[in-house]
Structures are given as C-alpha cells and as structure tokens.
Amino acid sequence: MARRRILVVEDDDAIRMGVVDALRVAHYDTAEAGRGRRGLELALTSEWDLLLLDLILPELDGFEILKEVRAARPTAPIIILTARGEEGDRVRGLRLGADDYVVKPFGVRELLARVEAVLRRSPERPTDVHHVPLPHGMADLERGQVVLADGQRHDLSERESELLTYLARNRGRTISREELLSHVWRVDPHGIETRTIDMHIARLREKLGDCAAQPQVIVTVRGKGYRLVTPEDTA
C-alpha cells in the first residue's frame, strides 16, 4: 500500500521540522514549505493526501492559500494550525473549508490523532484506473487502446496511456502543465518548455474522439492546465 503524503506549510522552522520528523516516524511521506507563495505552489501542483496549513505566513497568508486550494481541490483534506486563543481564525478557517484544526502548541500524539482521523473520513482517491468512459466509447488503459462507438480503434503510446491515467486518477481537478511534467514525464518542470504537453494532449484528444475546437473530455482551463471530464461527471 502506498504511503500517504502530507504537505506541511509552516513558517516557524522549529515547528515545521518537528512536525515533519513526527510524520516521517509515523510512516508518512512529506513535503514542506516555509513561505506562503511556495506553499501555494506546492499545494496546487504537487501530489499530497493531506495539507497541514499554518494561517500566519510570510508573503501569502493561510486563508488565501485555503481559498485557492479549496477552489482547485474541493475534497482535499486540510488541517489548519492556529495560535492559542485565536477562536475567530479557527472559525474562519473552518468556514473556508478546513476539515479540522490544531491549536499551537500541540503535542505529537494529538497532531497524529487528528491527521489519522481526517484521513480516515476523507474519500480515497482512485489509485488504479483501468477504464475511462468516453461520450462515444471507452479507453482501455490495461490494453492501451481506445475503442469508439463507430468501431474505430486507436492504440495509445506508453506516454499517452500514462498521461490519460494520471488525468483519470485526478478526474475533475485541473492539472497544471508543470504537474504533468513532474508526475508523468518525471522531470523538473522549472524552466522547461511545456509545448510537449500540448502536443500530447492534442494527439490524445484525436484518439479519444474529442473535438479539438470544443473538447468535452480533456478540457483546457485557460492559464491553469487541463481537466478530464467523463460522462459520469456531466450526467
């Protein structure tokens, strides 16, 4: 079973290091950021199962990050870290969509208990996708083939299969080009020309029978990336 990955966004170095160490001992994978803008970047472009988010951060506060993440990932589990006595902040954070909160200073046992509780009640994201329903056919990812209702069959390249699989695992969420480069191409996306993503998307749309002018399966979200939409989402 794959280990859960937790993103920690906290500007206090000592607290962040302590939290990251405790999570790793508890067999979670971690990513971390100490500033607001970097935290938002990681929250929107990297893969994680839970976000631990401090509310008071340099550059960009936790409330702004929370709003952005909720808009992009509506069901993603988020726990906010708040200072003792800041009841108003906790209420605001919960109203903006946080799943729970932990008050500083907190003990490791309390933090891990809340992490486990939130992950336990959060819906599992699909990890294995074998078939992708299409408006006029089906993509069989096990065979690497698309079968359309009119009888046409198109073989998918290995990269096209990986790209479609990643989009399907994150169905309904907008995926940036940088995230695709990082998780499908497995390269550092910084400073790399992303035209290759667009070319692969264009070829994939053609094989899926998706209209290039008005795509309905792999939708372009201007300035943000791509989102996979299946017939189940539009029913």
Q: 145-148 and 153-155: which strand pairing?
A: antiparallel
The model's confidence at residue 232, banded by pLDDT at 50, 70 and 90, is low
CATH 1.10.10.10 fits 131-234, yes or no: yes
Q: Please name the CATH architecture into which domain 5-121 falls.
A: 3-Layer(aba) Sandwich (3.40)
DSSP 114: H
Task: For residue 138, give the nearest of 232, 9, 53 by alpha carbon.
Answer: 232
User: Is the CB of residue 229 less than 8 Å from the CB of residue 235?
Assistant: no
pLDDT at site 26: 94
Range in 31-40, 174-183, 218-227 the model is least confident about: 174-183
pTM above 0.75, yes or no: no
The model's confidence at residue 1, banded by pLDDT at 50, 70 and 90, is very low
Which tokens go with 190?
């910084």
> Domain residue spans in the chain?
5-121, 131-234
Counting residues of the chain whose pLDDT is more than 90, the rounded percentage is: 51
Q: What would the pLDDT profile of 66-125 be if each residue is shown by its tens digit?
A: 998 988 777 789 999 988 667 788 888 888 888 899 989 899 999 999 999 888 876 555
Beta carbons within 8 Å of 217's beta carbon, 6+ residues apart: 134, 135, 205, 208, 210, 228, 229, 230
Q: Is 216 exposed, middle or buried (0-12, 13-18, 19+ CB in 10 A)?
A: middle
